[in-house]
């Protein structure tokens, strides 16, 4: 496989401007001669579809949800970064760029990240103009808070519901285009194949989730904005329906999958309380602005938290990382929590958490102020745990949360299949081996509002005058047949076990061996266990009901089949990378103090994997990363 990242020439600060100038344009009258399919209507997809519609393209947007407003972007709590420097605390585009590259442990592309920081400021302007009700100060101007891995306040927020407000803004912009007739919206429609004609992406095959009908849709280009795959772990902060299927089916058709093992385990989630559990709930990182994390210094201390005197508490983040303290980045904080719990300091009935304590902040600011900042999160915590966090410290523990890995894309956000683009969490582009808080919303909207709608024009321009292939083209018939075969295959196994029970078992393997800590031996074991369980799955899964009505087991069954294949690739990728970086922590590679030990000489690359068949070894192509504007350094948050 050939990889060309298409990074523009010139100095970092000028690359995006120069590129925008040199890209081919589609003139306004010609835009309506092009049709574009956008799969996924979360932050990335809705913003892209809306913008493409405004520009005059014919857009067809697809989502398996019943409405774009349900996409999991809705659940983002804490905020969105932008280099506005409204607080005058020394922020700048370069600082945001630098923090993001460093936060990603030097495994992302400089040019992409710099562009992200540049357009971040436009995002805030756009969202405010849409009426997104960001938090404001008493002077009526926008307020900011701090997030992990940064020493400036650059995070814009709407209480603990920032993702909701941003998604609704994008959704409304999208519905405006639906109203205007420039976007045709298909809800309850799951994309199950990408269709290539002469090597280029020219359409998709979708299954209607209410009727089971399988249909083909053709266009000049296809954009995947289908979200992340952390639900491979089964228990995660993702929505129940989040899945990797769209990206995976594209991968099977030739799109390289980059850094699959780079997953983020978020430090502040409510610890697991039992085996019945269907998901884990995030408690936003923004809580670490005011909450202090600690464990009892004595592992055998059974006292209630309030009875443990200050001197017998270990505020371990403040102790180990004095300059970032409770705002150390996610990977670092998560591993520190794991070390504490593994060493027996865990708290709660299962001794599987650490405290996140607001008593100092309540004392300092008053309960009202804390309620104003985090009220809905405190309520959510209480509903789930039956404990009042104003009185008793929260208990938290890391949980799978985000996928930095995803479809490989070049600077134009195009995958290795010409005409197939990927934006938002479904691509791998900007976060390296660890994403900083509040930067996924930024990336999704940067891609959707400000990058893709322009870079796609460069791809389309030379195709002026061509029509998309008719949907009775053999390539569509073939893809439809594949979809029907898969559906019928799953319905006819008629084994003994539910889809969920398999997913749970798969998730446990991935969590145990490809989660917060990984070893060569463990990963090899995981790979063979995944293969064995996958074989069993295809022999013993039980999917009842039929194709022609709503069949949620059938929907899940197809997705879990893809998770099995992805999970194997995650272990292969983690095995390849004989270093620790960001969220990828190989126990063999650590400093004396237990911090990640990178190997820049051998591993400063993006691992782009090609599909060679289920159960076959995938092919690896390396995109070497060049760092010209930041100095590679050991990340230190001390």
Ligand X SMILES: Cc1cc2nc3c(=O)[nH]c(=O)nc-3n(C[C@H](O)[C@H](O)[C@H](O)COP(=O)(O)OP(=O)(O)OC[C@H]3O[C@@H](n4cnc5c(N)ncnc54)[C@H](O)[C@@H]3O)c2cc1C
Return the structure tokens found at 150.
Answer: 């940064």
Please state, in angstroms and rounded to a whole number, the distance separating the CA atoms of residues 25 and 9.
Answer: 19
Largest CA distance in the chain: 76
Q: Using alpha carbons, list the distances in angstroms from residue 378 to 258, 284, 357, 388, 528.
A: 37, 10, 12, 8, 42
Please state, in angstroms and rounded to a whole number, the distance separating the CA atoms of residues 394 and 429.
Answer: 34
Count of residues touching other proteins (by CB under 8 A): 79
Give the nearer residue to other proteins in terms of CB position, either 141 or 304: 141
Q: Do residues 535 and 615 lie in contact, with contact meaning Cβ atoms separated by under 8 Å?
A: no
Count of residues touching ligand X (by CB under 6 A): 46
Give the nearer residue to ligand X in terms of CB position, either 423 or 543: 423
Half-sphere exposure of 633 (CA within 13 A, CB side): 11
Among 29, 278, 601, 628, binds other proteins (CB under 8 A): 278
Binding to ligand X (CB under 6 A) within 159-188 occurs at: 162-163
Using CB distances below 5 to 8 A depending on partner kind, what does residue 178 bind out of other proteins, ligand X, none?
Answer: other proteins
- Could you give the residue ranges of the DSSP H alpha helices within 142-221? 162-180
Q: Among 12-20, 105-113, 237-245, 377-385, which window interacts with ligand X (CB under 6 A)?
A: 237-245
Sequence-distant (6+) residues with CB within 8 A of 280 are 235, 236, 237, 269, 270, 272, 399, 400
Q: Do residues 203 and 212 lie in contact, with contact meaning Cβ atoms separated by under 8 Å?
A: no
Partner residues linked to 619 by β-bridges: 610
Burial of 86 (C-beta count, 10 Å sphere; 0-12/13-18/19+): middle
Please state, in angstroms and rounded to a whole number, the distance separating the CA atoms of residues 196 and 221.
Answer: 10
Q: In the bound complex, what is the minimum distance in angstroms from residue 442's beta carbon to ligand X?
A: 6
Q: Among 49-57, 115-123, 434-442, 588-596, which window interacts with ligand X (CB under 6 A)?
A: 434-442
- Could you give the residue ranges of the DSSP H alpha helices within 200-354? 245-252, 316-320, 330-342
Give the nearer residue to ligand X in terms of CB position, either 326 or 580: 326
Give the nearer residue to other proteins in terms of CB position, either 545 or 594: 545
Using CB distances below 5 to 8 A depending on partner kind, what does residue 432 bind out of other proteins, ligand X, none?
Answer: none
Per-residue binder mask for ligand X (CB under 6 A), 55-94, x = binder: -------xxxx-----xxx-xxxxxx--------------
Contact between 70 and other proteins by CB under 8 A: the answer reads: yes
Ranked by CB distance to ligand X, the top (closest) residue is: 42
Closest by CA position to 191, among listed 178, 208, 175, 171? 208
Contact between 28 and other proteins by CB under 8 A: the answer reads: no
Per-residue binder mask for other proteins (CB under 8 A), 80-109, x = binder: ----x-x-----------------------
Among 164, 245, 334, 551, binds ligand X (CB under 6 A): 245
Q: In the bound complex, what is the minimum distance in angstroms from residue 54's beta carbon to ligand X?
A: 18
Return the structure tokens found at 556.
Answer: 């899940």
Return the structure tokens found at 193.
Answer: 């194949």
Please state, in angstroms and rounded to a whole number, the distance separating the CA atoms of residues 271 and 284.
Answer: 14
Q: Do residues 265 and 516 lie in contact, with contact meaning Cβ atoms separated by under 8 Å?
A: yes
Q: In the bound complex, what is the minimum distance in angstroms from residue 266's beta carbon to ligand X?
A: 8
Contact between 318 and other proteins by CB under 8 A: the answer reads: no
Binding to ligand X (CB under 6 A) within 198-227 occurs at: 225-227
Return the structure tokens found at 271.
Answer: 């610890």
Please state, in angstroms and rounded to a whole number, the distance separating the CA atoms of residues 197 and 203.
Answer: 9
Using CB distances below 5 to 8 A depending on partner kind, what does residue 89 bind out of ligand X, other proteins, none?
Answer: none
Annotation says 330 is catalytic:
yes
Q: What is the residue-wise DSSP string for 380-398?
A: HHHHHHS--TTTS-EEEEE
> SS3 for 183?
strand
Contact between 215 and other proteins by CB under 8 A: the answer reads: no
Return the structure tokens found at 378.
Answer: 């405190």
Contact between 139 and other proteins by CB under 8 A: the answer reads: yes
Contact between 288 and other proteins by CB under 8 A: the answer reads: no
Q: Among 140-148, 212-220, 332-340, 416-424, which window interacts with other proteins (CB under 8 A)?
A: 140-148
Q: Which of 95, 145, 207, 330 is catalytic?
A: 330
Using CB distances below 5 to 8 A depending on partner kind, what does residue 64 bind out of other proteins, ligand X, none?
Answer: ligand X
Phi, psi (5° rounding) for residue 36? -130, 135
- Could you give the residue ranges of the DSSP H alpha helices within 541-617? 552-576, 600-603
Among 6, 253, 279, 339, binds other proteins (CB under 8 A): 279
Among 238, 287, 509, 543, binds ligand X (CB under 6 A): 238
Q: Among 238-246, 317-325, 475-483, 484-492, which window interacts with other proteins (CB under 8 A)?
A: 238-246
473: DSSP letter: S
Binding to other proteins (CB under 8 A) within 145-164 occurs at: 158-159, 161, 164
The enclosing H or E element of 608 equals strand 605-610
Closest by CA position to 229, among listed 559, 457, 490? 559
Give the nearer residue to other proteins in terms of CB position, either 107 or 207: 207
Contact between 452 and ligand X by CB under 6 A: the answer reads: no
Q: Helices 452-460 and 43-55 sit at what angle, rounded to 10 degrees?
A: 60
Among 59, 246, 293, 509, binds ligand X (CB under 6 A): 246
Q: Among 5-13, 18-26, 518-526, 540-548, which window interacts with other proteins (CB under 8 A)?
A: 540-548
Contact between 54 and other proteins by CB under 8 A: the answer reads: yes
Give the nearer residue to other proteins in terms of CB position, either 18 or 187: 187
Give the nearer residue to other proteins in terms of CB position, either 74 or 414: 74
Among 310, 311, 383, 592, binds other proteins (CB under 8 A): 383
Please state, in angstroms and rounded to a whole number, the distance separating the CA atoms of residues 174 and 170.
Answer: 6
Contact between 438 and ligand X by CB under 6 A: the answer reads: yes
- Could you give the residue ranges of the DSSP H alpha helices within 104-256? 110-130, 162-180, 245-252
Using CB distances below 5 to 8 A depending on partner kind, what does residue 337 bind out of other proteins, ligand X, none?
Answer: none
Contact between 66 and other proteins by CB under 8 A: the answer reads: yes
Give the nearer residue to ligand X in terms of CB position, either 33 or 176: 176
Using CB distances below 5 to 8 A depending on partner kind, what does residue 619 bind out of other proteins, ligand X, none?
Answer: none
Contact between 175 and other proteins by CB under 8 A: the answer reads: yes
Please state, in angstroms and rounded to a whole number, the distance separating the CA atoms of residues 355 and 358.
Answer: 10
Q: Helices 499-514 and 552-576 sit at what angle, rounded to 10 degrees?
A: 20
Q: Do residues 348 and 340 lie in contact, with contact meaning Cβ atoms separated by under 8 Å?
A: no
Please state, in angstroms and rounded to a whole number, the distance separating the CA atoms of residues 510 and 268.
Answer: 20
Among 153, 165, 237, 434, binds ligand X (CB under 6 A): 237
Q: Using alpha carbons, list the distances in angstroms from residue 161 to 214, 284, 385, 451.
A: 36, 10, 20, 25
Using CB distances below 5 to 8 A depending on partner kind, what does residue 62 bind out of other proteins, ligand X, none?
Answer: ligand X
Give the nearer residue to other proteins in terms of CB position, either 85 or 216: 85
Name the residues annotated as catalytic: 330
| Interacting residues toward ligand X by CB under 6 A | 39-45, 62-65, 71-73, 75-80, 162-163, 190-191, 225-228, 237-238, 242, 245-246, 282, 284, 401-402, 424-426, 438-442, 444
């Amino acid at each position: 496989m050939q990889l060309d990242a298409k990074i523009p020439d010139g100095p970092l600060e000028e690359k995006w401007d120069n590129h925008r100038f040199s890209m081919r344009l589609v003139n306004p009258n010609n835009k309506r001669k092009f049709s574009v399919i956008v799969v996924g209507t979360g932050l990335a997809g809705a913003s892209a579809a809306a913008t493409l519609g405004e520009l005059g393209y014919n857009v067809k947007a697809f989502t398996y949800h019943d409405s774009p407003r349900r996409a999991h972007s809705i659940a983002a709590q804490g905020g969105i970064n932008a280099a506005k420097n409204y607080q005058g605390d020394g922020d700048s585009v370069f600082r945001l760029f630098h923090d993001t590259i460093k936060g990603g442990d030097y495994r992302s592309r400089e040019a992409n990240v710099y562009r992200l920081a540049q357009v971040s400021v436009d995002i805030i302007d756009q969202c405010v103009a849409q009426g997104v009700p960001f938090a404001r100060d008493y002077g009526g101007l926008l307020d900011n808070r701090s997030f992990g891995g940064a020493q400036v306040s650059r995070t814009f927020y709407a209480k603990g519901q920032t993702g909701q407000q941003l998604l609704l803004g994008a959704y409304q912009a999208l519905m405006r285009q639906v109203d205007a007739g420039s976007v045709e919206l298909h809800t309850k429609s799951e994309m199950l194949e990408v269709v290539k004609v002469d090597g280029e992406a020219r359409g998709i095959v979708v299954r209607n989730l209410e009727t089971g009908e399988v249909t083909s849709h053709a266009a000049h280009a296809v954009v995947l904005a289908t979200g992340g795959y952390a639900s491979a772990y089964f228990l995660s902060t993702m929505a129940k329906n989040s899945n990797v299927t769209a990206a995976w089916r594209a991968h099977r058709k030739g799109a390289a999958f980059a850094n699959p093992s780079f997953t983020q385990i978020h430090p502040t989630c409510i610890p697991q309380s039992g085996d019945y559990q269907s998901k884990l709930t995030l408690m936003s990182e923004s809580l670490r602005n005011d909450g202090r994390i600690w464990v009892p210094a004595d592992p055998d201390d059974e006292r209630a938290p309030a009875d443990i005197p200050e001197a017998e508490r270990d505020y371990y983040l403040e102790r180990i990382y004095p300059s970032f303290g409770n705002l150390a980045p996610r990977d670092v904080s998560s591993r520190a929590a794991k070390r504490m719990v593994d060493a027996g300091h865990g708290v709660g009935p299962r001794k599987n958490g650490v405290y996140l304590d607001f008593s100092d902040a309540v004392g300092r600011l008053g309960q009202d102020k804390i309620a104003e900042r985090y009220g809905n999160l405190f309520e959510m915590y209480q509903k789930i745990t039956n404990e009042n966090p104003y009185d008793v410290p929260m208990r938290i523990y890391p949980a799978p949360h985000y996928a930095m890995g995803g479809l490989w894309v070049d600077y134009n956000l195009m995958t290795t299949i010409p005409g197939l683009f990927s934006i938002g969490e479904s691509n791998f582009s900007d976060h390296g081996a660890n994403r900083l808080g509040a930067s996924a919303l930024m990336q999704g909207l940067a891609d959707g509002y400000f990058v893709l709608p322009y870079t796609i024009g460069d791809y389309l321009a030379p195709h002026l005058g061509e029509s998309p292939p008719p949907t009775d083209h053999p390539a569509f018939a073939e893809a439809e047949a594949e979809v029907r075969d898969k559906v019928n295959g799953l319905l006819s196994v008629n084994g003994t076990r539910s889809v969920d029970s398999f997913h749970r078992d798969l998730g446990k393997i991935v969590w145990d061996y490809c989660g917060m800590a990984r070893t060569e031996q463990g990963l090899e074991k995981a790979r063979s266990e995944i293969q064995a369980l996958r074989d069993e799955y295809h022999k013993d899964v039980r999917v009842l009901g039929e194709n022609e009505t709503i069949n949620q087991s059938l929907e899940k069954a197809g997705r879990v089949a893809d998770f099995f294949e992805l999970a194997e690739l995650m272990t292969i990728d983690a095995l390849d990378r004989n270093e620790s970086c960001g969220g990828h922590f190989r126990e063999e590679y650590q400093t004396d103090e237990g911090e990640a030990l990178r190997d820049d000489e051998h591993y400063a690359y993006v691992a782009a994997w090609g599909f060679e068949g289920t159960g076959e070894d995938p092919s690896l192509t390396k995109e070497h990363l060049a760092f010209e504007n930041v100095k590679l350094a050991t990340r230190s948050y001390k």
